[in-house]
Amino acid sequence: MHQSLATSCPPNLRDIAARFAIAHPLGAIEPLGRGLINDTFCLDAGGQRYVLQRINGAVFPAPERIMDNLRVLGVHLAELTGTDLRLPSLIATREGGDFLRDADGAIWRLMEFISDAVTLTRIENDTQACEVGALLGRFHRLVASLPIERLALTLPGFHATPKYLKRFLSVAEQGQGQGGQAIRDCLDFVIERMWLADVLETSLKAGEIPLRVTHGDPKLDNILFARDGVHALALIDLDTVQPGLIQHDLGDCLRSCCNRDGDGTRNSAEVRFDTTICAGILAGYASETRGFLPQPDIDLLYDAIRLMPFELGLRFLTDHLEGDHYFRIDEPGQNLHKARAQFALVTEIESHEETLRALIANCFAHDLNSVAQHW
């Protein structure tokens, strides 16, 4: 979802585009994609297409860190051979930088438009599912040798579920008695599962699992496929590449891809978690990361799968109660509907616990006996 061109673009948008080292004449500039955070546009110039983007400074406290991380990531991948992983390249400014600031201090960047690729609205078969998992696993494998100390935190507190829970409970208490039955039902749901918020954080603090380089937002919208719809080509939206937990990445990918009705459904009773798609993604991921994951990481995968919709539901619901200032909405109450859909997805995942644990055990069976610790 995006705002209209009139409301989200400054009047000097074409002047901003002209400051990048691209051929003229400048053509059409149109809103692009369904992103909830940044302002993103497609630019035609000199017979080429580009992605022009303003980073949301209200969400990212130091947008320069994003650009620094992209530079580090690009150099690291360029030094590897046979990566078979495509990321959109940055286009330099006319002064030679990789971003610029407008008169209000906002950071803008220009990236290549990967024209031979498409995004999928949903996964339709096992082949596509395996490709998604393999692409994410390939990313994790290739960045495993990149020291996390070289990457800055672009979004401090991202995926810190206990903090999201604490904030939600505080906001809910302040608005106690407001919001009607739907809010009260959500509150009851959260209270019943409060313990889930600490599962990964507890293991991290105990030293059972490490921080690694993560994508941060590997949902289906951020995976580009070849036009044949068969082969996954690229990962995009790299703003949240930073030190994190691979359980968050894999869990969020499954949350996005296995929810057949998508995040925006208004009828939470119809939410379904597709275990067949889940099996394909896990198999593809395991094929690329064979021997990389120690058993403590594997043991936490089921909880990670249900943690991610729980966390996102908390975030949607908190934003709804605080006035919808983080996630963009098209209509009042949209974030509440999204929260309820995520909580329904948690319930769906819990109903498939036995199946999911068996899938995880089967896909990562070889890892359990592996002594290699490549991370």
Q: How many structural domains compose the chain?
A: 2
Residue 280: domain span: 126-368
Q: Are strands 117-118 and 212-214 parallel, antiparallel or unpaired?
A: unpaired
**What is the pLDDT at residue 353?**
98
**What is the pLDDT at residue 178?**
61
Is residue 121 in a domain? no
Helix residue ranges per DSSP H, 143-219: 161-174, 180-192, 199-205
Amino acid letter for position 120 = L
For 137-176, give one letter per residue: b (16+ CB within 10 A) or e.
Answer: bbbbbbbeebeeeebbebbeebbbbeebbebbbeebeeee
Q: Is the pLDDT of residue 36 over 70?
A: no
Q: What is the dihedral of CA 110, 114, 120, 123, to 10 degrees?
A: -120
**What is the pLDDT at residue 333?**
87
- Contact between 87 and 238 under an 8 Å Cβ cutoff? The reply is yes
Same domain membership, residue 266 and residue 173: yes
Q: Is the pLDDT of residue 373 over 70?
A: no
Is residue 373 in a domain? no
Same domain membership, residue 216 and residue 196: yes
Is residue 322 in a domain? yes
The proportion of the chain whose per-residue pLDDT surpasses 70, expressed as a percent, equals: 91
Same domain membership, residue 285 and residue 235: yes
Question: Can you list the positions of beta strands (E) in 176-287?
Answer: 212-214, 223-226, 232-235, 242-244
Same domain membership, residue 132 and residue 111: no
- Contact between 225 and 231 under an 8 Å Cβ cutoff? The reply is yes
Is residue 76 in a domain? yes
167: domain CATH number is 3.90.1200.10
Same domain membership, residue 95 and residue 42: yes
Same domain membership, residue 315 and residue 230: yes
Same domain membership, residue 84 and residue 131: no
Per-residue pLDDT, averaged over 38-52, amounts to 92
Same domain membership, residue 142 and residue 10: no
**What is the pLDDT at residue 35?**
66
Is residue 225 in a domain? yes
The proportion of the chain whose per-residue pLDDT surpasses 90, expressed as a percent, equals: 72
Same domain membership, residue 27 and residue 135: no
Is residue 120 in a domain? no
**What is the pLDDT at residue 180?**
81
Is residue 337 in a domain? yes
Domain stops at, among 115, 144, 173:
115
Q: CA-to-CA distance for 264 and 313, rounded, in angstroms?
A: 12
Domain stops at, among 115, 149, 179:
115
Same domain membership, residue 191 and residue 111: no
**What is the pLDDT at residue 370?**
46
Q: Which of 321, 342, 334, 339 is nearest to 178 (CA)?
A: 321
Is residue 105 in a domain? yes
Same domain membership, residue 334 and residue 186: yes
pLDDT tens for 315-358 read 999 999 998 888 878 888 889 999 999 999 999 999 999 999 99
DSSP one-letter string for 299-331 = HTHHHHHHHHHHHHHHHHHHHHHHTS-SS--SS
- Residues near 372 by Cβ (< 8 Å), separated by ≥ 6? 291, 292
Q: Which of 111, 108, 95 is nearest to 45 (CA)?
A: 111
Helix residue ranges per DSSP H, 97-158: 126-142
pLDDT tens for 260-286 read 876 666 677 889 999 999 999 999 999
**What is the pLDDT at residue 263?**
66
Q: Is the pLDDT of residue 219 over 50?
A: yes
Domain stops at, among 96, 115, 134:
115
For 269-285, give one letter per residue: b (16+ CB within 10 A) or e.
Answer: eebebbbebbbbbbbbb
Same domain membership, residue 149 and residue 100: no
75: domain CATH number is 3.30.200.20
